[in-house]
Amino acid sequence: MKPAPVALSVREGVALAPYTTLGLGGAARWFVEATDEATLRAALVWARARGVAVRILGGGSNVVVPDAGVDALVVQIGLRGVTTREVRGAVEVTAAAGEPWDDLVAFAVAHDWAGLECLSGIPGLVGATPMQNVGAYGQEVSDTVVAVRALDTSSGDAVTLSPAQCGFGYRDSAFKSREPGRYVVLAVTYRLRPGGAPTLGYADVARDVAARALTAPTLSDVRTSVLAIRRTKSMVLIPGDPNRRSCGSFFTNPVVPREAAERVAERAGERNLPRWPQGDGGVKLSAAWLIERAGFRRGQREGAVGLSTAHALAIVAHDGARATDVLAFARRLQDSVAERFGVRLALEPAVWQ
């Protein structure tokens, strides 16, 4: 028996700014809220039949919507649900793409399941985490992801992809750079460690834990530290925070050849510049450090756009800002860093066209 057809509710001219943390951008030509897979499939069929482009919207914390809006069907993902199962001394947690990410982290920490605690406080939804290979404070989701269930828009089939098929890299994945737009993430499965020790590989977290005289910190202790650190950088969405209208980190930390890192140190006149050797022989540099050494300061503004007062990686939209202003300011930062150090910063958020 064929499933009953879905009564698809397609709205027109829906303002997208309220759906994004930047609070900018125009309207979607068409808009659908997909709270189940059937609605998502129906929306894609609707778009294909009309030759309409599709944009997938999650929590809106990592996207810049153009001022003119988008001549496309925007599908907001609202799939919910979390299931767990024990597997060979571990616990596998499967969360639907529309689950709020930090709620899932809090859930894991409350159950004493290690692996996500350092990713506390990151805005957005579960479905975005494999797309970006979300990471912070010594952890990345690729450390724990064992499967991604996704809808293959080229075939219409739901597929389950292994970590290798996801093509994870630093803030990157096959979903983002190899085949952008092909897959819509439906659910993600993470393998966590019951009773596992928290990750303390990041200096800021280790310092905060030590400052609280915690000799045997729990996962909850580390989550508390991470949230506290993120708040000092305005990297937690808090109503009333003057820096709240941002995408968080607007640039990724560049990974460059070792010789390029040496040239940066020479140009800066600082031999001890922040750098982290990578397994492939490259060196990761601090984008925030490069921005500040290129002559920008926290809180610096150009009209209605500027840097966060708490962190040089966040571009903040103030009242009256437009998406074009944000992108122009971002280009100025990129050009200044490139001229000063010969390093081109890459944008972290998706810029819709």
CB 75 within 8 A of CB 34: yes
Query: CA-to-CA distance for 115 and 2, rounded, in angstroms?
Result: 41
3-class secondary-structure state, position 143: helix
Q: Which of 171, 245, 293, 298 is catalytic?
A: 171
CB 189 within 8 A of CB 178: no
CA distance readout (Å), 130 to 145, 156, 212, 296: 8, 20, 33, 32
Q: Which of 41, 249, 293, 298 is catalytic?
A: 249
Query: CA-to-CA distance for 229 and 25, rounded, in angstroms?
Result: 30
Q: Is 61 a catalytic residue?
A: no
Query: CA-to-CA distance for 323 and 68, rounded, in angstroms?
Result: 9
CB 296 within 8 A of CB 333: yes
Amino acid found at 259: E
155: which residues sit within 8 A by CB, 6+ positions away?
A: none
Query: CA-to-CA distance for 139 and 117, rounded, in angstroms?
Result: 8
Half-sphere exposure of 97 (CA within 13 A, CB side): 27
3-class secondary-structure state, position 347: strand
Q: Which of 33, 179, 292, 348 is catalytic?
A: 348
Q: Is 178 a catalytic residue?
A: no
In 144-232, DSSP assigns E strands to 145-152, 157-161, 183-194
Q: Is 207 a catalytic residue?
A: no
Question: Would you give the end-to-end CA distance of the chain in angstroms?
Answer: 41
Q: Annotated active-site positions, please?
A: 171, 249, 348
